[in-house]
Amino acid sequence: MLRTHSLSLLTLCLVAACSSWHQETLSPSQLITSRQPDKVRVTIPGGRHVLVLNPRVSGDTLAGLDFRGDRKVVPVADIQTIETRRFSTGKLALGVAGLAVFTAIMASGCWSMNASCQ
C-alpha cells in the first residue's frame, strides 16, 4: 500500500515537473492578445520576477492578480522579459526514464527479499 502511494506521488511530481518557464520574443501586448496565457512571469528592473495571473494589457500597463488574489500592476516599460509556462518533452522523457528505474529497483528489491509486494 505504501509503495502504491509512493509511486502515485512520484508520478504526480513527474507530471508537474514537465513544464518550465520559456522566455517569449513577442511584446507583452502581442503575447497577451495572441496566446491569452493564464499566467505570465515578468522580470522587472533589479532582476525580480513577478508572477501575474489572468494577465491583461491596458494601454501601457500589464495587470492581473497574484496568488493571493490581490491586483498586480506592472508598467510595460519596466518589463525586461516576459515568460510563459510550456510543456517540456525533454523533462518528460527524463522523468519517465527515472520512474522506470525507480520501479525496477522497487520490484527487484521486493522480489529478492521474498516479501509481499502489495
CATH number of domain containing 59: 2.30.30.100
Asked if residue 99 belongs to a domain, the reply is no
Whether residue 64 is predicted with pLDDT greater than 80 in this model: the reply is: yes
Position 14 scores a pLDDT of 59
| Total number of domains in the chain | 1
Asked if residue 47 belongs to a domain, the reply is yes
Cell (9 digits) for 81: 522579459
Asked if residue 35 belongs to a domain, the reply is yes
Asked if residue 67 belongs to a domain, the reply is yes
Phi-psi region of 14 (alpha: psi -120 to 50; beta: other; left: phi over 0): alpha
Alpha-carbon distance 76 to 62, whole Å?
6
Residue 1: band (very low, low, confident or very high) from pLDDT cuts 50, 70, 90: low
Estimate the crossing angle of helix 89-112 against helix 2-16, to 10 degrees. 170
Asked if residue 77 belongs to a domain, the reply is yes
Asked if residue 45 belongs to a domain, the reply is yes
Q: How many CB atoms lie within 10 A of CB 8?
A: 10
Q: Is the pTM of this model over 0.85?
A: no
Position 97 scores a pLDDT of 76
> What is the domain extent for residue 42?
19-90
Asked if residue 26 belongs to a domain, the reply is yes
